Amino acid sequence: MLSTLLAFLVALTAVIFVHEYGHYRAALWFRVRVLRFSIGFGKPLLRWHRLQPGLNLPTEFTLCAIPMGGFVKMLDESDQDVTPGESAHAFNRQTLGARSCIVAAGPLANLLLTLFLYAFLQWMGSQQASAIIATPLAGSIAESAGLRTGDLVQKFATQADEWQTVQSLQHLMSLIDVAVHDQENFKLEVTSASSNQPKSIAISLSDLDQDVARPGSSRIGMTGAYSKPYIVKVMKEGPAAKAGILEGDLVLKVDGRLVKDAQHLIQLIRSASAVQVWEIHRADGKALLLSVLPEIREVEGKRISKINAVVGRDPETVWVQHGFLDGLEIALSTVLVQSKMTFLAVGKLITTNTGWQQLSGPLTMAEYAGKTAEQGWRPFVQFVALISLSIGLLNLLPIPILDGGHLMYYLWESVTGSAPSKEWLERLQVMGVSMVALMMFAALFNDVLRWLA
């Protein structure tokens, strides 16, 4: 519990600091007086002062008790008295372009942090799953095109580009995600698992799944890395335990059907509606027939059959490391694809009845922070990058009180030649606070529901 809380605080504080530091550095650039730089809200735990570079006037820095945000307070004639000698350094006296840059600098800093962290992971290198594919979903584009369980994908190309070597499954998935994002058909050079012979696979996106919030690789039916259908862990009191399944069992057949790999076994379990007969090979060499009754649960509005067991051992891996430019290019592609998926999710929040169920709050964030920290520094860095991207994009939404709302005011000012009236600003402020409060309540409500499930 303590490690989860600590990981969450480290991730959140780092992301908030970068956001507010973006505003702060932009204010310094335009010689705007910064009165206070705060991480968190409420009672200050730490407080110190430093002279602002260029102006030699004091700025107060604080670290506060509630680490759920931060702010940079600048000199502004709209909410305080300003001496004539300092008025030139007031925020409201700056040009429209300068004010826009200062406001946009926070979200931009978050996006740059995300880009750097993703690139850093590419530069450092890591063990990644080999590009040996698991069983594609039945009836999917991938299966219809000819991809089969255990095929090794060696090269990738869109119709307009030359072949490039596929270094890992993660690399392949990112290439596919970009191609699907750009709606470009592509082709793969594959070594067949059945014949060990090379073959060329053409992927057409004409029948593409229209759920644009999902990754492109998922939309064409790719399910992950190839792994033999071993039972890795069995939960107590679940259907697997009741059926007599043990850790280390290799599942050969389900209802007489040959099990190709772990993903195929998962598909068979999820499609179950009655008792299944499993043929297994036990670690001691025994062959057994077991009756398994998967348990049907409702997950995010869908009925899914489960056996309360972990299926599939760790896949075969390779070491992958990219140079400076290649790592930066991969990171940029990742940021662009994830940004589009985030905005599409926001669109579903507004246009569908179930979109609000996808919101996650501080409890879920803390849980993921703890889990990724336990898995190692790389998963934790990926988590921080994703949180930074989410906060950066969220703040760009045209919602009053957020940075995007202020940019919306400046857009209005650039078109009409005057800022919105004080009355309208007050109304929009109330609307913005209400919208953010509603989103926070929905996110926390979802957290509680997930915790109780």
Is residue 96 scored above 70 in pLDDT?
Answer: yes
Average pLDDT of the chain to the nearest whole number: 87
- Domain that residue 297 falls in: 231-314
Q: Evaluate whether 289 touches 277 at the Cβ level (below 8 Å).
A: yes
Average pLDDT over every residue of 375-391: 91
For residues 315, 218, 220, 229, the Cα torsion angle rounded to the nearest 10 degrees is: 30
237 domain residue, yes or no: yes
Please give the DSSP secondary-structure letter assigned to residue 353: S
Alpha-carbon distances of 301 from 267, 345, 353, 357, 434, rounded to whole Å: 18, 17, 12, 10, 27
Which helix (H) or strand (E) segment holds residue 160: the answer is none
CA–CA gap between residue 404 and residue 408 (Å, rounded): 6
Are 309 and 359 part of one and the same domain? no
Average pLDDT over every residue of 380-404: 91
pLDDT at site 418: 85
Q: Kindly provide the residue ranges of all beta strands, DSSP E only, lying in 216-268, ordered along the sequence.
A: 231-234, 250-254, 257-258
For tokens 């001691």, the residue is 284
CA–CA gap between residue 28 and residue 13 (Å, rounded): 22
Are 304 and 362 part of one and the same domain? no
Are 394 and 446 part of one and the same domain? yes
Q: Looking at 269, 287, 314, which one is the last position of a domain?
A: 314
Q: Looking at 177, 200, 224, which one is the last position of a domain?
A: 224
Are 271 and 374 part of one and the same domain? no
Please tell me the number of Cα atoms within 13 Å of 200 on its side-chain side.
Answer: 6
* Chain center to CA of 150: 28
pLDDT at site 403: 92
Q: 3-state DSSP call for residue 304?
A: strand
pLDDT at site 314: 86
pLDDT digits (tens, 9 = 90+) for 119-175: 999 999 988 999 999 999 888 899 999 899 999 999 999 877 788 889 999 889 988
Q: Kindly provide the residue ranges of all beta strands, DSSP E only, lying in 10-169, ordered along the sequence.
A: 34-51, 58-74, 126-129, 152-158, 164-165
Q: Which of 202-216, 265-279, 419-433 has the lowest mean pLDDT?
A: 202-216
CA–CA gap between residue 103 and residue 116 (Å, rounded): 21
Q: Kindly provide the residue ranges of all beta strands, DSSP E only, lying in 52-185, ordered along the sequence.
A: 58-74, 126-129, 152-158, 164-165
CA–CA gap between residue 445 and residue 357 (Å, rounded): 9
pLDDT at site 299: 65
| The token pair that represents 116 in the structure block | 């750097």
Residues with Cβ < 8 Å from 214, sequence gap 6 or more?
Answer: none
Q: Evaluate whether 130 touches 318 at the Cβ level (below 8 Å).
A: yes
Active site residues: 20
Are 176 and 235 part of one and the same domain? no
Please give the DSSP secondary-structure letter assigned to residue 184: -
Is residue 337 scored above 70 in pLDDT?
Answer: yes
pLDDT digits (tens, 9 = 90+) for 6-24: 888 889 999 999 999 999 9
Q: Say what percent of the chain tops pLDDT 90.
A: 40
Quote the number of domains for the chain. Answer: 3
Phi/psi of residue 39, nearest 5 degrees: -105, 115
Are 336 and 427 part of one and the same domain? yes
CATH of the domain at 210: 2.30.42.10
Are 347 and 393 part of one and the same domain? yes
90 domain residue, yes or no: no
pLDDT digits (tens, 9 = 90+) for 397-424: 888 888 999 999 999 989 988 888 888 8
Q: Evaluate whether 420 touches 153 at the Cβ level (below 8 Å).
A: no
Residues composing the chain: 453
Which helix (H) or strand (E) segment holds residue 247: the answer is none
Q: Looking at 314, 337, 362, which one is the last position of a domain?
A: 314
The whole-model pTM stands at: 0.79
Alpha-carbon distances of 36 from 9, 13, 75, 127, 364, rounded to whole Å: 22, 17, 9, 44, 31
